[in-house]
Structure 1
Amino acid sequence: MAKSAILKSSLAKKYWMALTGLFLCLFLVGHLAGNLQLIFSDALHFNQYALFMTTNPVVKLLSYLTYISILFHAVDGILLTVQNRKARPIRYAMENPSANSTWASRNMAVLGTLILVFIVTHMVNFWAVMHFDKNMPLQSVANGDSQVYVMVDGSYIPQEFVTSGDVKIEHRTEFFDSKSGLKIGEGYKDLHKITFEFFKDSEYGLIATILYVIAMFVLSFHLWHGFASAFQSLGANNPKYNGFIKGFGKAFSVIVPLLFAIIPVYIHFFAK
């Protein structure tokens, strides 16, 4: 079979769907762990996390891989749907789809399209603001119990030594916060504030919260069929493990979207 034929085959498309889908499941876990800081941590730690996720070279590489996987997964899903319908253009006169498949499995293309719409709007409201909005608010660096350093000729010197006269300053430059490494007076991009304003303080905060929760229901249905289906597409079909894979997949498809949904609900109704 020619290479082009392999790439065009439905089997190859199913492999790619499975691989990109499972990779995106890993992304969901990592993204959830970071977002849960909106509930269990403070603004500074969440903004430090956001800064790390947008500046670390390895994370950047994984981010590009995630963007590619989302696009590939979406396009591949559309192509598979079209290919399957072309293979059977005329429906059977007597058919009872619910007897042989779940609702989610029969509507994966619709569910996937809704999730793609959510991802685009989600990135516009948060990712694009974080990266490109010049009016992005900053969280000022509070000294607190941090030690303040002065850079002297390329070296960091504790401020108390400088002010006490123990160090002779010829080329003093900037003051730095020891915890954050940022210059005093600078700050982190305040994604924490943006998120809370979006779900709590804006005039459409309640609507945004409801739509987010609905999107997580859609994601749950998509994962309900997609998780176990991915392993089947990759040939992991063994009676010894099928029960565990299906059980784990169902738990994953409920718990992960549920925890995501709790975040905006908490912010809108309970956060101060």
Structure 2
Amino acid sequence: MRSNLFLSSLTAKVLMALAGLFLLTFLFLHLTLNLLLLLPDGGQAFSTAAAFMGANPLIKIAEVFLIASFVLHGVLGFMLSAKSRAARPVAYATANRSDTALFSRYMLHSGIIILLFLLWHSVDFYFIKLGIVLPPAGIEPHDFYQRALLLFTHPGISLFYLLSFIALGVHVNHAMQSAFQTLGLHHSRYVDGVKLASSLIAIVIATGFSIVPIVLCFFRP
């Protein structure tokens, strides 16, 4: 029923927006940790931070919320996208294609790229930590520093990570604008400011994450 608030499109959008904003906070935390890889200390700062996060019970609880938020955000995103496509006539979609923002049009595409990246990234790091996947020879399961150094010696893998980070930036840019609009914080007076902030945050995230594979793959001594 339309009166069923939980199943309404508006409620789904609100839940997806809240989950997305929570994921955004995780991205900044993860970005900060990743940038420690570039410090000239042999990985000491990165390994210390990673060990602290791995042993902190609050972080373990946050991991549960993180996974739940990602699943919720992804499922609702696919559901709303399918619902929107089903409700939109083909002729109407074609006629208005040029009026639709580029970032908005490719939210589903960027989301799929991000999903594939997360599956790959989980195999590279998270599943190794859990013991589901064996680490490369000579590397301990919890030695993420050496694992990152080895991973980014491969230009192909580094390029895949870079393309994924570009998709992430595109996704974040439009997602933030949509989230503010969904939560009623997108007043016409602040539209330009919201767009600028969304673009800047997306650039910081995409560039920040990209720096690590670029430096480790192409500029490491």
Does the pair score TM above 0.5?
A: yes
Determine whether 1:195 maps to 2:148.
yes
Please tell me the residue identity of whatever aligns with 2:200: A
Distance of 1:89 and 1:6 partners within structure 2: 26
C-alpha distance in structure 2 between counterparts of 1:126 and 1:94, whole Å: 42
Please give the per-residue CA displacement for 1:166-225, whole angstroms capped at 9, x wherever unaligned: xxxxxxxxxxxxxxxxxxxxxx9321011101111xxxx110111111111111111121
Corresponding position of 1:115 = 114
Equivalents in 1 of 2:92, 2:74: separation in Å? 28
How far off is 1:93 after superposition?
8.0
Query: Separation in 1 of the partners of 2:189 and 2:88?
Result: 34
Q: Supply the distance in 2 between the matched residues of 1:79 and 1:135 (Cα, whole angstroms).
A: 36
Larger Rg: 1
Which residue of structure 1 aligns with residue 52 of structure 2? 52
Structure with more strand by fraction: 1
Q: How many residues align?
A: 217
Taking structure 1 as the reference length, the TM-score comes to: 0.74
Q: More helix by proportion, 1 or 2?
A: 2
Match of 1:265 in 2: 214
* Structure 2 match to 1:10: 9
* Counterpart-to-counterpart distance in 2, 1:19 and 1:48: 31
Q: What amino acid is aligned across from residue 12 of structure 1 in structure 2?
A: T
**Are residues 93 and 129 of structure 1, via their aligned partners in 2, closer, same or farther at CA, if it must alter by over 3 Å?**
closer
Aligned pairs for 1:81-120 within 5 A: 81-92=81-92, 95-99=95-99, 101-120=100-119
- Contact 1:224-1:250 at 8 Å conserved across structures: yes
Question: What is the rounded CA distance, in whole Å, between the counterparts of 1:238 and 1:91 in structure 2?
Answer: 31
Q: Which 5+ residue runs of structure 1 have no aligned equivalent? A: 139-187
Aligned match of 1:66: 66
**In structure 2, how many angstroms separate the alpha carbons of the residues matched to 1:215 and 1:7?**
32
1:240 corresponds to which residue? 189
User: Structure 2-normalised TM-score?
Assistant: 0.90
Deviation at 1:248, TM superposition (A): 0.7
Sort the Cα spacing of 1:94 and 1:213 in 2 relative to 1 into closer, same or farther, 3 A. Answer: closer
Equivalent pair of 1:199/1:268 in contact (CA under 8 Å): yes
For residues 76 and 224 of structure 1, do their structure 2 counterparts lie closer, same or farther at Cα, with a shift above 3 Å needed? same
Shift of 1:135: 5.4
Listed one character per residue, the Cα deviations across residues 77-131 of structure 1 (whole Å, up to 9, x for unaligned) are: 11101111222244328613222x2111012111111111101110110111123
What is the rounded CA distance, in whole Å, between the counterparts of 1:68 and 1:7 in structure 2? 17
Matched to 1:129, the amino acid is: I
Gaps of 5+ in 2: none
Of 128-137 and 28-37, more deviation after overlay is shown by 128-137
Q: Secondary structure at the match of 1:189?
A: coil
Q: Tell me the C-alpha RMSD between the 2 structures.
A: 2.0
CA–CA separation in structure 2 for the residues paired with 1:227 and 1:219: 12
Name the residue aligned to 1:29: 28
Taking only the aligned residue pairs, the percentage that are identical comes to: 32
